[in-house]
Structure 1
Amino acid sequence: MKVLFIGGTGNISTPSSRLAIEKGIDLYHLNRGTTKVKIKGVKTILGDITKPNGLSDLKKHTWDVVVNWVAYTPEDIERDIALFKGKTKQYVFISSASCYQTPLSYPIITESTPLKNNLWEYSNDKIKCEDRLMKAYREEDFPVTIVRPSHTYDTVIPIAIGGFKEYTTPQRILNGEKIIIHGDGTSLWTVTHADDFAVGLVGLLGLTQAIGHPFHITSDEILTWNMIHKILADSLGCELNAVHIASDFISKIEPSFGPGLHADKSETVIFDNTKIKTFVPAFKATIPFSEGIKRTLKWLDDNPEKKIFNKEENAQIDNILRAYGEL
């Protein structure tokens, strides 16, 4: 099976690339060659998907599957439909679970949960992408499969404030400083290790029955935000010194934090993974956060240049704590 990953060396896509190679897939990456990630067995086509006129090498190929990890807007989708219509048997769009109804009317999410999120431009654009692709499927037989990850981690810290591609909150924990947990920390959340996600994603590649369908792929482990931060602190070998602050207060003091909280992380979500398990029987999330975060922290220790301490965001955290009377 000949597969193209547009991207393929990111936080989520790297483990999927490795698993695809292990499964004997003839895997190509289209990227600009700017990352240092090298995956044995992957063939690289150098190019920028945002500049279709410079993709002469890509246009020579036909594919069994194309996976776009870096499409975000309807314009990206129009470009891809033009590029790959008639050139691939399956097109996989990496969407986002943040597209689901916000706020939820029912906390257990299935693929039939409505898509509606007007609080975050990122999510709203992903919804528009899905709408355009499903229209192309219905009217033009464009062979789309939609995948919706949710807070998936490997080389990032999956917390709401001072984390993800930054090491700001982990460093504060190491320093014994106060950190912020939004709300009272008791709402339920799911974080998924990218190695687990990869099993579901790779299992969908070339699966004819998956065409025309959306899937989310997440862990079944359900944690509170208090537990997530406690496990992180324990994995760092430190005590947790957390201050609970309402999301409304956080976004009032520092509006840039608002969309990610109100549109995604401030309410309980529970994912029903029945559909991906039905289509890909091999899928089962086996890596608990207590194990996965240790892998991430070790990777960061081995790649200290990735421990990005954002001084501006650190100052914002201090500003919120000060306004709340905790500094």
Structure 2
Amino acid sequence: MRILILGGTSFVGRAIAEEALREGCDLTLFGRGRTGRELFPGVPRLLGDRDSGDCAALRGGSWDAVVDTSGYLPRQVGDATAALGDRVGRYLFLSSHAVYVREGVAPGSDESTPRRSPVRHVRRVEDLDDETYGPSKAACEDDVLARYGDRATIVRPGKVAGPHDPSDVFTSWVRRAARGGRVALPGDPEQPVQVVDSRDLARLAVRLLLDDRPGTFHAVGPAEPTTLGGLIRTCAAAAGTEVEIVPVPPEAAPPMFPLIRTDHAGQQRSAARARAAGLTATPLAVTAADVLAWDRARGEPPLRAGFSAAEEEHLLREAAGAGR
């Protein structure tokens, strides 16, 4: 199968490229050429920049399938699909759970959950925020479906975790748990959490293409339900340490603290349709161990997520004083 990946050298795209090559697919990558230049020697690369609307490199060639990992704005999707025309078979768009409404959702919700109203007014990726990211992705979904119909496939991942993750969200908990000891948690340790291993997401995407399967699919994990406290303890066990979770005031945390959410039902979505289509389930302990090994191999650079050591120590001292 000839697959074109829009992206393919950073995190999720990289995992999908690796999986496609393992399956013997004939791969082409499209991107700006700024990252991962050493990856995938021998794989053809088309250079362009979706942010600036430069998709000229897509005007030649044909592919059995396209995986869009880098479409965030409707104009980006429109530019790519206009350049590709009908020279592609299936178009798989990587969307997000952020497309869904946030109120009135029950645990176990499936892909029929109502979406937020699509928006098209955001012109630059850097202008997306919590209020517009999901609605912009919803508009992208609509455009892919309108253009390709039954040749469109939508995958909506939850929080993706794995090696090479640039977000630091899961990595911050892996690294903190590896230090062991008392861990400050500005949230409910019983809060449900769903993360999906990037390699499971990649296997699902490639399997959907190989099976030429249309539809919309949740990519969530792990297979066994877990909580935020359970995730932290699993990360500690993977590192061979022990932790004591210490609740601290939620207001002590900056906005969007790693994996802390108030919409608990949004962390309990059903993966039944994706599992039936081939979504695998890497154990959370394996994901944690692999992220820890990758993080240590890269030298554990400063993280942008979570508390600093000084911030956490201050909160832990306050918590100890309040408990006397």
Secondary structure at the counterpart of residue 103 of structure 1: coil
Question: For residues 262 and 152 of structure 1, do their structure 2 counterparts lie closer, same or farther at Cα, with a shift above 3 Å needed?
Answer: closer
Q: CA deviation at 1:175?
A: 7.4
Query: How do 1:288-307 and structure 2 match up within 5 A?
Result: 288-304=283-299, 307=301
Contact 2:168–2:304 (Cα < 8 Å) also in 1: no
Q: Which of 211, 214, 217 is 2:216 aligned to?
A: 214
- Indicate conservation of the 8 Å contact 1:177/1:241, yes or no: yes
TM-score (norm 2): 0.79
Q: CA deviation at 1:28?
A: 0.7
Contact 1:157 / 1:167 at 8 angstroms: preserved in 2?
no
1:16-55 alignment runs, 5 A limit: 16-36=16-36, 38-40=39-41, 42-53=43-54, 55=55
| Aligned residue pairs, count | 308
Q: Structure 2 vs 1, CA of residues 146 and 32 (structure 1 numbering), >3 Å: closer, same or farther?
A: same
Deviations 1:280-318 (A, max 9, x none): 3xx2524210122101111122221x5333499528955
Structure 1 distance, partners of 2:239, 2:52, is: 43
List aligned pairs for 1:93-132, cutoff 5 A: 93-116=93-116, 120-132=131-143
Q: Which runs of 5+ in 1 are unaligned?
A: none
Superposed CA deviations along residues 115-165 of structure 1, whole A, max 9, x for unmatched, are 23896432222122223333444xxx583211111112112679xxx9427
- Flag the 1:82–1:316 CA change in 2: closer, same or farther, 3 A: farther
SS of equivalent residue, structure 2 residue 89: coil
- 1:13 aligns to 2:7 (yes or no): no
- The verdict on how the C-alpha distance between 1:103 and 1:314 changes in structure 2, with shifts beyond 3 A counting, is farther
Are the structure 2 counterparts of residues 326 and 121 from structure 1 closer, same or farther at C-alpha, using a change threshold of 3 Å? Answer: farther
Mapping of 1:135-214 within 5 angstroms?
A: 135-137=146-148, 141=149, 143-155=151-163, 163-164=168-169, 167=172, 170-171=175-176, 174=179, 176=181, 178-183=183-188, 185-205=189-209, 207-210=211-214, 213-214=215-216
Q: Counterparts in 2 of 1:61-80, with a 5 A limit?
A: 61-80=61-80
Preserved contact between residue 177 and residue 241 of structure 2 (Cα < 8 Å): no
Q: Does 1:269 align with 2:274?
A: no
Do 2:218 and 2:274's aligned partners in 1 also have CA atoms closer than 8 Å? yes
Of stretches 91-100 and 28-37 in structure 1, the one that deviates more from structure 2 is 28-37
Q: What is the alpha-carbon distance in structure 2 between the residues aligned to residue 166 and residue 308 of structure 1?
A: 11
* Residues 190 and 221, structure 1, Cα contact 8 Å, conserved in 2: no
The amino acid across from 2:288 in the alignment is I
Partner of 1:271, secondary structure, is coil
Offset of 1:107 from its aligned partner?
0.6
- Give the Cα separation in 2 of the matches to 1:205 and 1:117: 28
SS of the equivalent of 2:256 reads helix
CA distance in 2, matches of 1:312, 1:188: 18
Consecutive unaligned residues in structure 2, runs of 5 or more: 119-129
Structure 1 counterpart of 2:141, which letter? E
1:40 Cα offset (Å): 4.8
Question: CA separation of 1:35/1:260 partners in 2, compared to 1, >3 Å: closer, same or farther?
Answer: same
Does the Cα contact within 8 Å between 1:165 and 1:308 map onto a contact in 2?
no
1:231 match: secondary structure:
helix
Query: Which residue number in structure 1 is paired with residue 241 of structure 2?
Result: 238
Q: CA RMSD in A?
A: 3.5
TM-score, normalised via structure 1 length: 0.79
